[in-house]
């Protein structure tokens, strides 16, 4: 039996693979991804069998309900994995795209062209369906990936990674080690030391978990810690629209990071909208807490504690705040939100525009559920995660967020000396059309 590879060996293999993936033709990448999608479909039963083992482990370990909900697979979810891979196939190759072309001088042309980041270390909790999403996005963008899922999903993840890696490596030109996985928590610490081989860490999990990653590596980190998302019902909101959007934002998938955790309601509409809306939430067994003004309208509601405004519940719980004006709502969101996703419900275009401009979040929505903030729904094929960073990628991170760029300067023998001194040549710096 072959010895298990160390994290150092795994990351070295990934680095070598990334150098080949960086210039792999798109037709080869797409062919490999199609085989991966078919492998997922064909391996449905095997994945479900492994998922049962994970669910039993999770229940024995008393893992929380929201995490178990993310962990649980069924045939539809697995078919959705394959569908997600195929949606990535249909997307344009993000590698080799010209972003800029400048004629610096006659016979001296500068191009800025997209290129892969290199090796991505993706660390996530509980969700086996994240494996094909992350793997396909990294592969299509020319990056090698090292995956680390939560121990509660180890059997499901191992099976899915095996199906994907075996499938893509059948295609000539695809290097071994394009998609790999590490298994233990101790290996994460080793992974965070691989700054020579790993170029970006993408953590998906709790606030404490992401902070741990950020504080224990010199590798750049891309991700979000919490999804404290808000819905704001403005005084000019359509009541039916507001009710439908608020219910969907909270109830469609409460465990998701883009589920609404705090509802803000303008005082001019609160008396009208809150009683029937609260009734709907209660029918769905949502635990509600509110500010003093909210509790004057809904008498039996529990008071919201200060910590509630800064809490990601990922469960059937919602905080409600009544505000006096739009500026108060914006200020509250910017103070208590996590920069993830926030939505305004209003028929007033000027108020909506102000909200969209002034709320400092990676996704801001008008008359739409917060649950729309998702890579697949945005047309990105899938997402490796949601970034609240203010770096090269923000919001749902798809293919475009997994490439950076390089400068290519094409000359005909020029030297810097020609452009220096008393008789220096002048640069033209003419913008050229992109090809």
Q: What angle do CA 366, 369, 373 make, to 5 degrees?
A: 90
pLDDT at residue number 332: 98
| Alpha-carbon distance values, 264 to 7, 318, 400 (Å) | 47, 11, 33
Nearest to 257 by CA among 138, 152, 145, 362: 362
- Which of 202-206, 236-240, 300-304, 308-312 bottoms out in mean pLDDT, i.e. has the lowest? 202-206
- 8 Å CB contact between 164 and 178: no
- 8 Å CB contact between 134 and 380: no
The two structure tokens encoding residue 123: 């660390």
Query: What is the β-pairing status of strands 260-266 and 229-233?
Result: parallel
- 8 Å CB contact between 128 and 72: no
Instruction: Give mean pLDDT, residues 214-230.
Output: 89
The two structure tokens encoding residue 8: 């150092």
Is pLDDT above 60 for 1? no
pLDDT at residue number 2: 58
Q: Residue 66, Cβ neighbours under 10 Å: how many?
A: 18
Is pLDDT above 70 for 329? yes
Q: What angle do CA 302, 308, 311 make, to 5 degrees?
A: 140
Task: Name the CATH code of domain 7-223+389-404 (choices 2.102.10.10, 3.40.605.10, 3.30.930.10, 3.40.50.720).
Answer: 3.40.605.10
Q: What is the DSSP letter of 433?
A: -
**62 versus 21: which is more confidently predicted?**
21
Domain locations in the chain?
7-223+389-404, 229-372
Q: What is the DSSP letter of 343?
A: E
Query: What is the β-pairing status of strands 108-116 and 403-410?
Result: antiparallel
Q: What is the DSSP letter of 224?
A: B
Distance of alpha carbon 273 from alpha carbon 280, whole angstroms:
11
Instruction: Give mean pLDDT, residues 400-428.
Output: 95
Distance of alpha carbon 292 from alpha carbon 297, whole angstroms:
9
SS3 for 119-184, per residue? EEEEEECCCCCHHHHHHHHHHHCCCEEEEECCHHHHHHHHHHHHHHHHHHCCCCCCCCCCEEECCC
Instruction: Give mean pLDDT, residues 49-62.
Output: 94
Same fold: 7-223+389-404 with 229-372: no
Instruction: Give mean pLDDT, residues 357-382.
Output: 92
Is pLDDT above 80 for 311? yes
Distance of alpha carbon 22 from alpha carbon 32, whole angstroms:
15
pTM, 2 dp: 0.86
Q: Residue 268, Cβ neighbours under 10 Å: how many?
A: 14
Measured distance between the N- and C-terminal CA atoms of the chain, rounded to whole angstroms: 52
- pLDDT tens for residues 95-109? 999 999 999 999 999
Can you name the CATH fold of 229-372?
Answer: Aldehyde Dehydrogenase; Chain A, domain 2 (3.40.309)
Burial (CB count <10 Å: 0-12, 13-18, 19+), residue 292 = exposed
The two structure tokens encoding residue 116: 């892969």
């Amino acid at each position: 039996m072959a010895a298990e590879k160390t994290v150092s060996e795994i990351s070295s293999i990934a680095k070598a693979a990334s150098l080949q993936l960086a210039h792999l033709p798109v037709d080869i990448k797409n062919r490999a991804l199609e085989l991966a999608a078919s492998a997922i479909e064909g391996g449905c039963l095997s994945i479900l069998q492994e998922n049962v083992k994970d669910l039993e482990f999770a229940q024995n370990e008393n893992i929380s309900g929201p995490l178990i909900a993310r962990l649980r697979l069924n045939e539809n979810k697995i078919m959705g994995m394959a569908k997600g891979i195929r949606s990535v196939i249909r997307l344009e190759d993000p590698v080799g795209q010209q972003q800029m072309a400048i004629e610096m001088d006659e016979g001296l042309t500068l191009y800025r062209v997209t290129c892969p980041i290199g090796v991505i270390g993706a660390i996530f909790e509980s969700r086996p369906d994240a494996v094909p999403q992350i793997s396909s996005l990294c592969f299509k963008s020319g990056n090698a990936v090292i995956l680390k899922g939560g121990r509660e999903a180890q059997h499901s993840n191992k099976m899915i990674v095996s199906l994907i890696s075996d499938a893509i490596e059948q295609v000539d030109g695809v290097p071994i080690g394009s998609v790999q996985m590490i298994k233990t928590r101790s290996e994460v610490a080793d992974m965070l030391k691989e700054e020579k081989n790993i170029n970006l860490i993408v953590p998906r999990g709790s606030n404490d978990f992401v902070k741990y990653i950020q504080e224990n590596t010199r590798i750049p980190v891309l991700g979000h810690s919490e999804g404290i998302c808000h819905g704001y019902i403005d005084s000019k909101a359509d009541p039916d629209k507001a009710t439908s959007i608020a219910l969907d934002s909270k109830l469609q998938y409460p465990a998701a990071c883009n589920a609404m955790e705090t509802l803000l309601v303008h005082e001019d509409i609160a008396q009208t909208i809150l009683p029937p809306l609260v009734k709907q939430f209660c029918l769905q067994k949502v635990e509600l807490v509110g500010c003093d003004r909210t509790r004057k309208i809904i008498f039996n509601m529990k008071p919201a504690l200060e910590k509630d405004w800064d809490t990601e519940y990922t469960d059937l719980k919602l905080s409600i705040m009544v505000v006096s004006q739009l500026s108060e709502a914006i200020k509250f969101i910017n103070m208590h939100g996590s920069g993830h996703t926030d939505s305004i419900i209003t028929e007033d275009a000027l108020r909506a525009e102000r909200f969209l401009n002034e709320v400092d979040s990676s996704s801001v929505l008008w008359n739409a559920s917060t649950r729309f903030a998702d890579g697949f729904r945005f047309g990105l094929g899938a997402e490796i995660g949601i970034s609240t960073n203010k770096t090269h990628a923000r919001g749902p991170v798809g293919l475009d967020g997994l490439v950076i760029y390089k400068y290519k300067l094409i000359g005909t023998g020029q030297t810097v000396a020609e452009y220096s001194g008393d008789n220096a040549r002048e640069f033209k710096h003419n913008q050229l059309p992109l090809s």
